[in-house]
Structure 1
């Protein structure tokens, strides 16, 4: 099931659960689509409805222009996650460039007087302070196939390098999201009063625990980074462990926020943690 804005992101409900107490929006990494979070479905409890977004420029929408303006994208995403037709609390999780999408969407919601999520998880990306993205990305973008391998989380097979249409399909949305990061300009605002979770891979060449911790100055309550075995795309190897940790962290945040009733007044199944 999906709701669509013709030239903007689409909400994709990966596992429709209208009686679930909380919606979890997974914002995808560079070049990826909503199906990035599909493996999480097997590890979601009944009280969580898992959603994502499909962006123009990739997958079934590859013929559409990508969105590379962070302010424009965050405004569009704010209208999706804070759905006026759905009063349930929601949480957000962003991996890699999805972490910046999540962060700027929350800031946009606050500026516009919208609802903030009950919890936010940021993964495999450092905070945007001090021009961090330009400093980190530009060396990769000028380093040929080695830089591309770092960006996609693994080596690029030689046969793939020789397939121009395939490389264009892979590289175009990836480069579009790199532009999204490079176009971002951080501005000082008060810390976000949203419970925070930080996640990363133990061998991620782009983001270590110290870099993950840079998000803490942008939130009211700091979080200790949780590291899982793997590199930048550790999510592929650690799906179950990560998803279960995210669910536990959301449950804890819901308890603190007093989330007790589902959307139709039934007793909520969010467990005590």
Structure 2
């Protein structure tokens, strides 16, 4: 446990050359990335973080301040006890947390990641999240369905208590996005990769490209068939692409990759 966050090692590989931290989308816990564990190359150790109020920690109060969450994530990934280089991949709100964690590391003089992957989230410039989220939050069940990237299960619709339990972490992460205030800073000197779904109603290819303004090296989006949660039907293809993109960067810095 580190200040309210827990590191979750999804597949222990103490001899792996690189740690790959995957940060989950709104409302999800570290287990969201469990299907990746057996697919990543042997040179990478799959990790995530467990946030209060999400996943197995739904009984705990949620954190809704981006800066606070990012500072805790930064502390976990820049681990003095583990000198291995690391990389970050964030899906949806996890991408924003990853981005702010890297900014926090830069400001504090910490180690920066070898690479960062952003999936299914537009750039944070110009109050973009408030404009996109508010109509969905005011849109009732249809808006919630768009937020989760698919239809709401009938068992939730029939049980208001269960629905509240399921929606609370999602709404907490929506507050995290709404509370976020973008700051103009120099571009991050970290290799970037972009991923998205071809039918994602929340993030278009053009919106993914907004991240290029915030990094020193531009990336071309890798698009997969599907919506906001495209990865559910494209897990193997996405992991192969992530491994290739990370590997292309990591092999220059880490001979074992």
- What is the aligned residue count? 257
1:248 lines up with 2:244 in the alignment:
yes
How far does residue 162 in structure 1 lie from its aligned partner after superposition?
2.2
Measure how far apart 1:59 and its partner are: 2.6
Q: Which residue of 1 aligns with 2:27?
A: 31
Of 112, 115, 136, which residue of structure 1 is paired with 2:132? 136
Shift of 1:140: 0.2
The verdict on how the C-alpha distance between 1:16 and 1:159 changes in structure 2, with shifts beyond 3 A counting, is closer
In the alignment, the residues of structure 1 paired with residue 181 and residue 241 of structure 2 have an alpha-carbon distance, to the nearest angstrom, of 31
For 2:27 and 2:4, locate their aligned partners in 1 and report how far apart those are by CA, in whole Å. Answer: 16
The gaps in structure 2 that reach 5 residues or longer are none
| Residues 1:120 and 2:154 aligned together | no
**Shift in Å, 1:64:** 0.7
- Say yes or no: does 1:150 pair with 2:125: no
Q: TM (normalized to structure 2)? A: 0.98
* Aligned-pair CA distance for 1:168: 1.2
Structure 1 vs Structure 2 CA RMSD: 0.9
Kept in 1: contact 2:29–2:56 (CA 8 A): no
Among 6, 18, 22, which residue is 1:22 paired with? 18
Spell out the pairing of 1:1-273 with structure 2 (5 A cutoff): 4-5=1-2, 8-256=4-252, 258-260=253-255, 268=256, 270=257
State the secondary structure of the residue aligned to 1:198: strand
- Please identify runs of 4+ aligned residues in structure 1 that moved more than 4 A: none
Q: Is the 8 A contact 2:8 2:50 kept in 1?
A: yes
Q: Give CA deviations for 1:17-37 in whole Å, capped at 9, x if unaligned.
A: 000000000000000011111
Deviations 1:49-90 (A, max 9, x none): 000011110232111110101111111000001111000000
1:115-138, Cα deviation, whole Å (9 max, x unpaired): 000000000000000000000000
C-alpha distance in 2, partners of 1:87/1:184?
31
SS at 2:42 equivalent? coil
Deviates more, 1:153-162 or 1:195-204: 153-162
